[in-house]
Amino acid sequence: MKKILSLYCLSMLLTITAMAQDKPAYRLFKANGKDIKYSKMLEELQKADVILFGEQHNDPIAHWLQLEVAKDLHKVHQQKLSIGAEMFEADVQLVLDEYLSGKVGENNFEQESRPWTNYKTDYKPVVAFARSAGIPFIATNVPRRYAAIVASGSLQALNELSETAKLYMAPLPIKVDMNLPGYKNMKSMFGSNTHGNTKAENIVHAQALKDATMAHFILNQTSKGNKMLHLNGAYHSDNQEGIVWYLKQKQPQLKTLTITTVSQNGLEELAEEHKNKADFILVVPATMTKTY
């Protein structure tokens, strides 16, 4: 028994030493903390209807791996793959489609699609891939002006919008489960009071509007028989909440898998706090260079 333990300890020491010498840029784990190779994760992702790739917005490893996943899924699904992103709002879908089809130039697209400030470093490669592969790229987020209406007022204020405006969001009324841990935590962060629909609740409702809208546009693609790779901030899909919750409300049979991105000082094992955040956890060194 002592010999077995000694061999095990030696094996672990060699593994840790090798990792320290190799300085890996990332490591992948399953929800339970067991490590997994990219090829094995990809095998599972290929079986999913929807993949929600949760990122930290300034993490270059996550953006690189999103592109690699997109390329590898396309090899399997070909033109039945769609890519969606929180980073584009639904009312710019027309200019996005025009750019993807080559009808408008890159400068016009970047001026009119309201891309995030880190678009060129972090999202442009994925958009360029979708364009070259001839696959749909879907703007899934609600226009921020409508989220602002909810944050400063209420969900009910959306009823006053035009029918055209409502095309850019999930169908009303939007149900919000304030008992979801993520929403409860968000509410506690912003404080509360006892006067009916509080400011904190409104902020949570604005977040729920985004989650519901992204789920809505994802389902538009799956209803066409397409598989969807969706890029979003990890907080929109961690712990099977946010977008995942809304997908399950509409299509509980949908096979949805999640990836989240976390940072740790060491990559030898997954920290307890990160276990079960997603089906797959991408761990990046805390010292990794950020894009902004």
pLDDT of the residue at 197: 54
pLDDT of the residue at 12: 52
pLDDT of the residue at 194: 40
Q: Are strands 137-141 and 50-55 parallel, antiparallel or unpaired?
A: unpaired
Mean residue pLDDT across the chain: 93
Question: Each residue of 41-65: pLDDT tens digit?
Answer: 999 999 999 999 999 999 999 999 9
Rounded to whole angstroms, how far apart are CA atoms 66 and 86?
13
Report residue 9's pLDDT band, with 50, 70 and 90 as the boundaries: low
pLDDT of residue 72 exceeding 60, the answer is: yes
For residue 229, which of 40, 41, 112, 81 has the smallest C-alpha distance?
A: 81
pTM equals 0.91
For residue 84, which of 224, 217, 230, 257 has the smallest C-alpha distance?
A: 230
pLDDT of residue 91 exceeding 50, the answer is: yes
Question: Each residue of 169-178: pLDDT tens digit?
Answer: 999 999 999 9
pLDDT of the residue at 143: 98
Rounded to whole angstroms, how far apart are CA atoms 10 and 22?
18
Instruction: Give yes or no for a contact between 154 and 202, defined as CB atoms under 8 angstroms apart.
Output: yes
Ramachandran sector of residue 271 (left: φ over 0; alpha: ψ -120 to 50; beta: rest): beta
Q: HSE-up of 17 (CA within 13 Å, CB side)?
A: 6
pLDDT of the residue at 158: 97
Mean local confidence (pLDDT), 209-234: 98
What is the DSSP annotation of the chain?
-HHHHHHHHHHHHHHHHHHHHH--S-EEEETTS-B--HHHHHHHHTT-SEEEEEE-TT-HHHHHHHHHHHHHHHHHHGGGEEEEEEEEEGGGHHHHHHHHTTSS-HHHHHHHS---TTIIIIIHHHHHHHHHHT--EEEEEPPHHHHHHHHHT-GGGGGGS-HHHHTTSPPSSPP--TTSHHHHHHHHHH---SSSS-HHHHHHHHHHHHHHHHHHHHHHHHTTT-EEEEEEEGGGTGGG-THHHHHHHH-TT--EEEEEEEEES--SS--GGGTTSSSEEEEEETTPPP--
pLDDT of the residue at 281: 98
Amino acid at residue number 14: L
- The encoded tokens of residue 262 equal 């976390």
The Cβ of residue 151 has, within 10 Å, a number of other Cβ atoms equal to 18
Report residue 21's pLDDT band, with 50, 70 and 90 as the boundaries: confident
Report residue 22's pLDDT band, with 50, 70 and 90 as the boundaries: confident
Report residue 39's pLDDT band, with 50, 70 and 90 as the boundaries: very high
pLDDT of the residue at 190: 87
